[in-house]
A and B are shown apart, each in its own frame.
Chain A
């Protein structure tokens, strides 16, 4: 059975792969394929955020009583990432390669430093305080 860290870290890597695919297609100006790949990337990333915001963070907050701590910072960074994803979508609609790659570059660094914080700090804390199989099951059910 997965730990929370393993389960969600795997999802991070999947989203990274999906983003890399979109980035490559946009660079090569293969717009139709890029739109499709972007949809997959966006849906997977937003689903991952939802799993954290709807299941993991409330469970963690409920168990530890820490409401204004790391989970709040993570929510804020999710909001920043959502905004950048939306701007990437707009650039893709306009077939604006330069704008897409420019927003994507900022997104990528934001999301990687965000992932680092989750993987190094938050997830191990969650594994320590929560029943991992139960939480993973709830996230899977979403």
Chain B
């Protein structure tokens, strides 16, 4: 029966494994950015994929292993074994893929992208298989289904682009546009929007999104997204109008939240959505502002994920230790302290300001240094919190 899944929340190690990998990839990726900057080996695909795959994809897949039973009642049997397959494919794939881009080695890019494709197909089909068996009662679980379909198609498009680097298929700028739109809007934005329908109302005690809007969002969004695949300014308008509507509704809900700023993660939400707002005109005129679009959209999802990761890890440590009957159960604030959360927020703010002001002059050294400190601080927080769990958990300390 569906509800039995309540008993089957995945083990902490799954989420922490994905989250630690994500934060470390982001950290080592930022070091790679510095190296390539200093050696004048500029590579936009490398920078973009460090954030989209190395950071966002790992966190999102890790979070979905946790959220599927809670939000949709979808139980994944033997989650540990399946998560390891997913994690290994993505880990190897991403490592080879980024090394290939850094060294400009086509063979490594090809092997890496094949493994990445396999990892995305395996994981997204796994989630979809469980989700499609259930009726969607909420906008969140419905949105997940659509976002997963988009990540599947976006990954295939990405693989075709990789093939074109080796002249196996003809290179087409449209394919790149298709990959970008499917991954950034169809996957990243739609997944975050779907989560926000649930999280903003419940965690910040805010007004609910209009029911009709939230429940049907994927149905409005999909045709707009498909239209935007035909690459012109006019065909992007409906998609961007929907993104704008979501930004405004979310900012309004955050502003009128009953909890004010009591939950520190609200600062990350504000900053992330302001960056998303800024990215809208840049995408509309992306022929002239592609870099600016990628930077502001990148800031949107990385800042939001940073804030949410800090909350998710500290809550799961408390929750699992509490359920396991551990002798010592630290509160969330004792898992990841307020100082670290504040540090991550101020670094995110500095990163935003420095990128928006300096990127127009192609001065990237300061933002790269801030990125290193931010991703290092985040990695430290997530690893510290996770280690605390393993130190206190009766499951890992038999005595």
Please list the residues of chain A having a beta carbon within 8 angstroms of any beta carbon in chain B. 16-17, 19-21, 23-24, 27, 64, 66, 69-70, 72-74, 76, 80, 101-106, 108-110, 112-113, 115-117, 120-122, 124-125
Contact = CB atoms under 8 A, between A and B. Distances in A.
B12 interface: no
B137 interface: yes
A117 B6 contact: yes
A121 B7 contact: no
A101 B262 contact: yes
B140 to A, nearest CB: 8
Interface residues of B, number: 33
27 contacts: A16-B205, A16-B258, A17-B258, A23-B262, A24-B259, A24-B262, A64-B1, A69-B4, A69-B7, A73-B7, A101-B262, A102-B332, A103-B331, A105-B333, A109-B311, A109-B315, A110-B315, A110-B319, A113-B315, A116-B71, A116-B198, A117-B6, A117-B70, A120-B70, A120-B71, A121-B73, A124-B137
B258 to A, nearest CB: 4
- Of B137, B198, B262, B333, chain A has the most CB atoms within 10 Å of the CB of B262
Contacts of A112: 202-203
B322 A80 contact: yes
A125 B2 contact: yes
B200 to A, nearest CB: 11
Given A24-B260, A64-B1, 8 more contacts: A24-B262, A66-B1, A66-B4, A69-B1, A72-B7, A104-B262, A108-B263, A120-B73
Contact of B202 (A24, A66, A116): A116
Contacts of B72: 120
A102 B336 CA distance: 11
B98 interface: no
B15 to A, nearest CB: 13
A50 to B, nearest CB: 20
A79 to B, nearest CB: 10
Contact of A102 (B73, B315, B331): B331
Closest 8 CB pairs of A and B: A20-B258, A70-B3, A121-B73, A102-B333, A70-B6, A20-B205, A109-B315, A112-B202
Contacts of A20: 205, 258-259, 262
Contacts of B7: 69-70, 72-73
Contacts of B263: 105, 108
B259 A106 contact: no
Interface in B241-262: 258-260, 262
Interface string B71-83: 1110000000000
Interface in B303-343: 311, 315, 318-319, 322-323, 331-334
A63 B67 CA distance: 28
B315 A106 contact: yes
B6 to A, nearest CB: 4
B191 to A, nearest CB: 17
A120 B137 CA distance: 7
Contacts, number: 94
Given A24-B260, A70-B6, A121-B3, A105 B203 contact: no
A81 B165 CA distance: 56
A70 B315 CA distance: 21
Nearest to B4: A69
A24 B7 CA distance: 34
A57 to B, nearest CB: 12
B205 A19 contact: yes
Interface string B195-208: 00010001101000
A116 B70 contact: yes
A117 B1 CA distance: 14
Contacts of A115: 202
B393 to A, nearest CB: 16
A121 B7 CA distance: 12
A126 to B, nearest CB: 10
Most-contacted residue by chain B among A17, A21, A27, A105 (CB, 10 A)? A105
Given A27-B262, A116-B198, A108 B203 contact: yes
B222 interface: no
Nearest to A16: B205
B5 interface: yes
A119 to B, nearest CB: 8
B332 A16 contact: no
A76 B7 CA distance: 11
A122 B198 CA distance: 17
A106 B263 CA distance: 10
